[in-house]
Structure 1
Amino acid sequence: MTRCLSRWIAAALLLAAIAPAASAETLAVTIEQWGLLGSWAVDCAAKPDRDKGALLTYEIRKDGRVMYRRNFGGAKDENEVVSATVSAEGLLNVMVYFPSLHQAREFGLVLLKDGSLRAIYNRSERGEYTIRDGKYVATGAPTPTQQRCD
């Protein structure tokens, strides 16, 4: 009985060690297969600027983590993508943890036929939207398309 219990405990510990790696691998595969990897901007020729457009980069680290880097010119940050799923309509739902904001944000992205990217929604973990239905909540203006810069 003790030998059987020891085997079950060993198997559970092995599964607990493997599960995070499998989850990270699935996340990286989702991001890569959907086509998000690389750098994106409204205007790739323009210098990154908070008011005129940031350079947004998604990359997979050697350890398998997916990172989201934002370059606003004078300010830059790097944040971990914690989940990504693709809806039946092809919308990529991404959740990123922002340590500087002490919060996670979820956003939905769509790849258009011309290869550009567009944000459809962006909300806090409390459900507060900055982008809803492809429009900025504050102004009602549609979100711009972003082009791949690399």
Structure 2
Amino acid sequence: MMRHLSRWTSAAVLWVAFSSLARAETLAATIEQWGLLGSWAVDCAIRPDRDKGAVLTYEIRKDGRVMYRRDFGDVKDENEVVSASVNAEGLLNLMVYFASLHQTREFGLLHANDGSLRAIYNRSDRGEYTIKDGKYVKTGAPTLPQQRCTQPSS
């Protein structure tokens, strides 16, 4: 009986390890295939600044994790992308865990024909939107397109 229990335990541990690895590979592949890797900003010529624009960088680490770095000039942070999927319209849906905020946020990005991308929505894990339907909730102003500042490293 103990031998069978040990086999089942070993099988369960291997299944968890492989499914975690497969999820990481799928996440990284989704990010890479969609074309998100690299740094993005509204204006790449301007130094990062909270009021004038941040530089947002997406990268795949050697361990397979996908990271999302934000540079606001005076403040920088790094957060892990925990899921990514693309819907039928080509919208990339990301979930990012912000450790400093103890919060997961979900946001959607859409590629434009010129290669730029726009934030279509951004919401907290409580369903509170800061961006909805491509517009800032507070002001109603449309989100600005972001340009790629650097090519992803291969």
Same fold (TM over 0.5): yes
SS in 1 for 2:45: coil
- Give a deviation string over 1:54-88, Cα, whole Å, max 9, x none: 00000000000000000001110000001101111
SS in 2 for 1:100: helix
Structure 1 unmatched runs, 5+: none
Instruction: Look up the match of 2:80.
Output: 80
SS in 1 for 2:100: coil
Structure 2 unmatched runs, 5+: none
Instruction: Look up the match of 2:30.
Output: 30
SS in 2 for 1:149: strand
**1:15 CA drift (Å):** 0.7
1:130-149 matches, within 5 Å, as 130-149=130-149
1:1-150 matches, within 5 Å, as 3-150=3-150
- Give a deviation string over 1:84-125, Cα, whole Å, max 9, x none: 011111100001011111101000000111100100000000
Q: 1: CA distance between counterparts of 2:58 and 2:67?
A: 6
Q: 2: CA distance between counterparts of 1:130 and 1:101?
A: 15
**1:33 CA drift (Å):** 0.4
Q: 1: CA distance between counterparts of 2:100 and 2:8?
A: 41
Q: 2: CA distance between counterparts of 1:30 and 1:5?
A: 37
**1:2 CA drift (Å):** 5.4
Matched residue type, 1:116 = S
Q: 2: CA distance between counterparts of 1:15 and 1:111?
A: 36
Q: 1: CA distance between counterparts of 2:53 and 2:110?
A: 18
TM-score where L is the length of structure 1: 0.96
**1:8 CA drift (Å):** 3.0
Report % sequence identity. Answer: 77
Number of positions where the alignment pairs a residue of Structure 1 with one of Structure 2: 150
